[in-house]
Structure 1
Amino acid sequence: MKPASESLQHPDYILLFDGVCHLCNSAVQFILKRDPSGSIHFASLQSDKGKQLLSRYSYDPSELSTVVLIAHGRLYTKSDAILHVVRKLSGAWPLCFYLGRLFPRPFRDFAYDWVAKNRYRWFGKQEQCMLPTAEIKSRFLD
């Protein structure tokens, strides 16, 4: 996790995802349905906003192999990002945060990297980033 070099004027939780990945887009839809408070906002890694946010944290904007969560001014990647996201969801999902933390990060990230490496082959790839509907558009950063 990296702190920002300057303070952000954005929502407390921003999830940067691979906008052309079917698995990633499905995960965004999953999160939208289980984040009733609307605290998690989104931007694709490929977008100008995504690249701008990553550069604020000295993170290579061309790195598209991981999900990135910016939470309260700190950057989380891979399994740490996922665990912090599920912590914000409704239902029993926050329990996954605590259970997941029982496993060492290298083990969690190994599993994450294996799925990330195969995600296009298993789930496919879109030609362009998802366009949010009018009702969820406010959750996506321009």
Structure 2
Amino acid sequence: MAADPSAFATLPRDKPIIVFDGVCVLCTANARFVLKNDREGRFRLAAMQDDAGAAIMVHAGLDPDDPTSFIILDPESEGGRIWMNSDAVLHMWSQLGLPWRAAVIFRIVPRFLRDPVYKLIARNRYKWFGKREECWVPSPEQAARIL
């Protein structure tokens, strides 16, 4: 998919955006987890197969057609930081409240140890968890939080 460069400039910047792989069973389970447990509606989600998600991936220097990273574009942190890999997962958990916020204890594990584990799972996610033929479609109640 060729991302439209202008799509990034037009993205809403009022909430952090989680970019996920919409055909990955593990990734869509995480998206559903966020929608269920983000009681304050803090996050928006964007599948990397769609225009918004692909634009964020390209802006982060990643190929949306070869997704190996979980990313969050957070306009509220450090002037619009893009969180990647295990840092993105921990950042997500830190924003969900208790009991999920407690998982930030894993920040004591250095990134050079966390990221290889993350990347091992990312490289094997289709083999271990499965792949959908089509992108996951949210329920009508969840659709307002999906870009």
TM-score bucket (shorter structure): 0.7 to 0.9
Whether the aligned pair in 2 keeps the contact of 1:17 and 1:67 (CA below 8 Å) is yes
Residue 139 of structure 1 aligns with which residue? 145
TM-align CA RMSD = 1.9
TM-score (norm 2): 0.84
1:46-61 to 2 correspondences below 5 Å: 46-61=49-64
Give the Cα–Cα distance (whole angstroms) in 2 for the partners of residues 6 and 137 of structure 1: 22
Unaligned runs of 5+ in 2: 1-7
Whether the aligned pair in 2 keeps the contact of 1:21 and 1:120 (CA below 8 Å) is yes
The answer as to 2:101 corresponding to 1:94 is yes
Whether the aligned pair in 2 keeps the contact of 1:11 and 1:39 (CA below 8 Å) is no
Give the Cα–Cα distance (whole angstroms) in 2 for the partners of residues 34 and 7 of structure 1: 27
* Comparing 110-119 and 45-54, the one that deviates more: 45-54
CA drift at 1:26? 0.5
Dislocated runs of 4+, deviation >2 Å: 5-12, 53-63
Letter in 2 for 1:82: V
Give the Cα–Cα distance (whole angstroms) in 2 for the partners of residues 80 and 12 of structure 1: 18
TM-score (norm 1): 0.87
The answer as to 2:83 corresponding to 1:76 is yes
Unaligned runs of 5+ in 1: none
Give the Cα–Cα distance (whole angstroms) in 2 for the partners of residues 119 and 52 of structure 1: 23
Correspondent of 1:24 among 23, 27, 40: 27
Q: Aligned residue pairs: how many?
A: 136
Give the Cα–Cα distance (whole angstroms) in 2 for the partners of residues 135 and 69 of structure 1: 22
Instruction: Give % identity.
Output: 36
